Amino acid sequence: MSALNRSTVPPSFDYWLARLAGFTRPRRAALAQSPARPSQPGISVVIPSRNGRTLLATHLPGILRDLEALPAEIIVSDNGSDDGTAAWLRAEHPQVVVDVCERPLSFARAVNRGIARARYSHVCLLNNDMEVAPGFFRALLRPFDDVRDLFCSTAQIHFPPGVRREETGKAVMAQDNPTDFPLRCDEPLTGEDGTPVLYGSGGCSLYDTAKLRALGAIDEAYEPAYVEDLDIGYRAWQRAWPSVYVADAQVEHRHRATTSRYYSEQQLEEVLEVNYLKFLVRAVADRAVFAGLWRQALDRLRLLENRPAAQRALTQAAQIARTGGPREKVAFPEREFLALTNGCAASFPGAGEGHTLQCVERLEPPSSADLDKHREVMLVAAARDSDAFRGATRFATHKCA
């Protein structure tokens, strides 16, 4: 029986229990917020690393070179390493701040230690398996001068030659069929830059430090990793603090160079499924939006009945729902920013004056005449009466105000 025909299988008790728990999801108290203390202009690069001495030896020199002309610091969160990372850093790179934790922590807990120590106005979360291209940090800084209330700028991600490009930096929330995981990365179009995205990758993104702290930093409910970057990006959008994709900030990702050493593929799949359910419960404030996404997630897990990770996630779903949802006041309607960041929008910098927002049948690079005429061309493959167009209008208006 194919996956697409499994809807004929009667829903299990776990499924109905999770549906009921989602319907009665309680509201929980807001997370305690970290103080947004004043920060001097510059970049604090936070790198979580567990037994990553070899990776750091490979990638730190490029990071240091790219930061030379900027006020900056590097904070390595040495996360339960036993390979001599801390001693090596102090000997070879004494300018690097080393935060040592004797036992391994989750990604969120490790980077939060670095965020708490950050001295500068912007925090870059960078995985130890990322190789940055020249101009990476300056490119990430640039949109903060152009987009009002920008929360996050995120890099274009490449993979080594011969490796399938699983991430691109253009992160969207959409499904092409019912069994697809609802998050994906779209291939950027030629000339695309500054497109609004739902969130920035936690492995190569730059954040406004004060805003990051105002949101309570990275939610530590996500163990041991995955989906925490979606959560923080979503909660920022709720406050009308957007994230954008930056084409010129480029990295090469040696994917899962750390996580694959400690977890099997099946374990990582279960972590991803469970953490996505946690995200829906903890971050989505609009009741109607939550109800639709929660049912979609449960239906998807039910269709994947032959995957043990999906079944275990479905079994945990009711308990996750009972942990409670947010008490956020939403400044940007969730329906609108979700529609805007589902892959239907693309922005292109031009050489002219002013900004234009256009509805199109499908996304493709605008004409050279349009780019010569306008400073930015934003295209939306949606009708003018759609949530996506309303979201694009709200984003463009807020950006240029």
Compute the distance between CA of residue 38 and CA of residue 381 in angstroms, rounded to an integer: 41
- Phi and psi at residue 53, in whole multiples of 5°? -55, -45
Judge contact between 394 and 336, C-beta under 8 A. Answer: yes
Burial 218-254 (b: 16+ CB within 10 A, else e): bbbbbbbbbbbbbbbbbbbbbbbbbbbbbbebbbbbb
Burial class (CB in 10 A: 0-12, 13-18, 19+), 39: middle
Task: Say what the pLDDT of residue 123 is.
Answer: 98
Give the three-class secondary structure for 120: strand
Judge contact between 46 and 114, C-beta under 8 A. Answer: yes
Burial class (CB in 10 A: 0-12, 13-18, 19+), 187: exposed
Number of other CB atoms surrounding residue 401 within 10 Å = 7
Residue type, 207: Y
Beta strands 72-79; 183-185: pairing state = unpaired
List of residues 6+ apart from 134 with CB closer than 8 A: 65, 66
Give the three-class secondary structure for 398: helix
| Token pair recorded at residue 397 | 């208006």
CA nearest 112: which of 169, 33, 39? 33
Give the three-class secondary structure for 209: helix
DSSP letter assigned to residue 147: S
CA nearest 229: which of 107, 328, 99? 107
Per-residue confidence in pLDDT tens, the chain, 401 aa: 334 444 556 788 999 999 999 999 998 876 666 667 767 999 999 999 999 999 999 999 999 999 999 999 999 999 889 999 999 999 999 999 999 988 989 999 999 999 999 999 999 999 999 999 999 999 999 999 999 999 999 999 999 988 888 889 999 999 889 999 999 999 999 999 999 999 999 999 999 999 999 999 999 999 998 999 999 999 999 999 999 999 999 999 976 555 666 667 888 899 999 999 999 999 999 999 999 999 999 999 999 988 999 999 999 999 999 999 998 789 999 999 999 999 999 999 999 998 999 999 999 999 999 999 999 999 999 999 899 999 999 999 888 76
Task: Say what the pLDDT of residue 4 is.
Answer: 44
Compute the distance between CA of residue 107 and CA of residue 126 in angstroms, rounded to an integer: 11
Task: Say what the pLDDT of residue 3 is.
Answer: 41
Q: Which residues pair with 132 in a beta bridge?
A: 251
The angle that helices 287-303 and 308-321 make with each other, rounded to 10 degrees, is: 150
Radius of gyration of the chain (CA): 21
Task: Say what the pLDDT of residue 260 is.
Answer: 62
Return the percent helix, strand and coil in the chain, to nearest 5. 40, 20, 40
**How many residues are there in the chain?**
401
Residue type, 166: E
